[in-house]
A and B are shown apart, each in its own frame.
Chain A
């Protein structure tokens, strides 16, 4: 439970600005102060996680919200990369995508994602997703 006191960091990997904004609005709407880090593709996300950019390394505990369709490095490729990375393979990842394709879902769960969430399903109540995430990290003990 100590962990829960610590602020869980959110890594949002999303190329669409509107979707990113929707997540941010959901957080602010629920008055969650968790810091949100934004990456527009897998490459940027990896840079944040590994801290090899000038940006600070994202410190644990964190949850990754991952879009699948992105330029340069898509979500699935990103997943494969972190699962092969010894430092990152235990990362909690939620897939947040517009793709309802089964192959994407299967591929994502094969990479041990914590949940596969289709954006259209959340519609305007994007807040439900955020609430679910809030509860999740309150209940679940995250890897450190």
Chain B
């Protein structure tokens, strides 16, 4: 609906614009055309007036000349041929172009004719008084009362034919002659064919009577003759004609004296655009100017007006098209604008949606991040908890191990209580009861032996208690750090151990001197050395002590050349109170090696042995080069 309206509106507006444009242009064109025509009319009129003026001037000049000649004649009774010639020639010097000739035409009465002719023949032998017959031929003048023969005429060369011509012989001329004679006024004749005319031009005469007396009433009788100006119309018009041709005008001259146009010059068929009166004495001439066809065309429909019209129409159409296009583009612009708005709206909506979504996402993201953070922190917590748990587990395991060890120790101690401590006590009790028994029964023989055994049990018990005390103290006493010269220490211990002198000790050169907790270190060495001697199967054993240096530890080796220890027993021997031989055979608490193990392990080292049955045993133990604060493994 609206599209249709817009469509029709578009066309309507376009048509209005084009129509208005064309109308305006037409009006403008017409106005311009009118104006141009007026202008050219005015211009033409000016030219016409110029032509008229020029003609007037020429005529005026001619009249003046004629009057001047008349005055000359009036002032002297007789004007000789020579005087006339001089005078006329002077005038002709300037006015030759429009005046054919100036002549003197006296009145000659018939009785004077022969004298006149005779006189004239003195100068012009062929002179006679002539006239033109009805066929136009020149003949001698028939008889008449008087004649007006052309007597003097200047310039003579071009006007010789007129000499002797009785202008009174012609009716047209005669009318004017009579009028001039009677009025005394300068009078122009109607158009005539000049006698001297060789072309097709008309001519006329301007006649001014010369009287012997100026009395008006007696003029007819006092007439001496006429000053005649001979005009050839073509010559007169020439200059004007030239001007007219220049301006593309056609010039026509008519004589309107009789009330209707009598053609003097030009073409009667042309319609005059301008007509002027041209006043000659006693004559009403009309000068008509008409435009040539091309000029008329130009004036009627000037080219500029056509161009304006065409240009205007073209402009209007272009304007119309422009407006059409403009409307079109405006429509499409509006459509685009609408679409744009739609798009913008959509866009805004989209943006809003996006913003909302983004916000949502952001929020969700934040939530997620929070979640992640929470999770991370939870995870961290979990990890730390797990670590704690692991640590706790390890701690617990360690504790368990410790506890196990402790339990084991306790169990071992229970053994001590139940067996190793009890058995010597029980033995003492037993022996004591036997002594009493034997005393009662008077059997004295076994009493000393039993008492010796009893003392042995007491000593064993004491040693056991001492060792137990030492064992329990391992790791509890404060470590006193001092320098241990291992070679010297081993030697000293070997001697202090009250080893039988039959044993030999060899010490390798590379035993270290280092700073450590000397007391436990000494205990380990002492026990190993004493074991080596105590459990030797011979009295002349040899003991060898050496050391190898490792990264963090020294590993000491104490070797003997005794019976060796069965591989099956390697584990057992480190157990508390385990002895490989009955205590009655070799005195020992059974705690030496377990004490060594406990001490060495307390400081982070290891104890182990290599043994070959019958060849000997080597006990190794590692000892840290530098003590750490917490050396419990």
Contact = CB atoms under 8 A, between A and B. Distances in A.
Contact of B418 (A70, A99, A123): A99
A4 interface: no
A62 to B, nearest CB: 22
Given A15-B582, A15-B583, A124 B414 contact: no
Given A69-B419, A99-B419, A17 B582 contact: yes
A119 interface: yes
A101 interface: yes
Interface centre among A25, A71, A100, A123 (most CB of B within 10 A): A71
B427 interface: yes
A100 B590 CA distance: 20
A7 interface: no
A80 to B, nearest CB: 14
A101 B584 CA distance: 24
A137 B431 CA distance: 28
Interface in A14-37: 15-19, 21-22, 25
A41 B580 CA distance: 9
Task: Output the residue of B414, B422, B582 with the most chain A CB within 10 A.
Answer: B582
A69 B415 contact: yes
Contact of B582 (A71, A97, A119, A126): A71
A7 B425 CA distance: 34
B585 A40 contact: yes
A124 B579 CA distance: 27
Given A18-B457, A119-B426, A120-B426, A98 B582 contact: no
B582 A41 contact: yes
A72 interface: yes
B576 to A, nearest CB: 11
**Interface extent on A, as a size class?**
20 to 34
B420 A18 contact: no
Nearest to B584: A17
Given A18-B427, A101-B414, A72 B581 contact: yes
Contacts of A126: 430
Given A18-B453, A19-B427, A25-B434, A40 B420 contact: no
Contacts of B569: 72
Contact of B583 (A16, A21, A99): A16
A71 B457 contact: no
Interface in B423-477: 423, 426-427, 429-431, 433-434, 453, 457
A16 B433 contact: no
Nearest to A68: B419
Nearest to A77: B572
A120 B422 contact: yes
Interface string B390-427: 00000000000000000000000011001110110011
Contacts of B597: none
Contacts of A40: 581-582, 584-585
B160 interface: no
Contacts of A69: 415, 419-420, 423, 577
A94 to B, nearest CB: 18
B418 A100 contact: yes
Contact of A15 (B433, B434, B584): B584
Contacts of B580: 71-72
B422 A98 contact: yes
Interface of A: 15-19, 21-22, 25, 40-41, 69-72, 97-101, 119-120, 123-124, 126
Given A69-B577, A97-B419, 5 more contacts: A21-B434, A41-B582, A71-B579, A71-B582, A72-B569
5 contacts: A40-B582, A98-B426, A100-B418, A119-B423, A124-B429
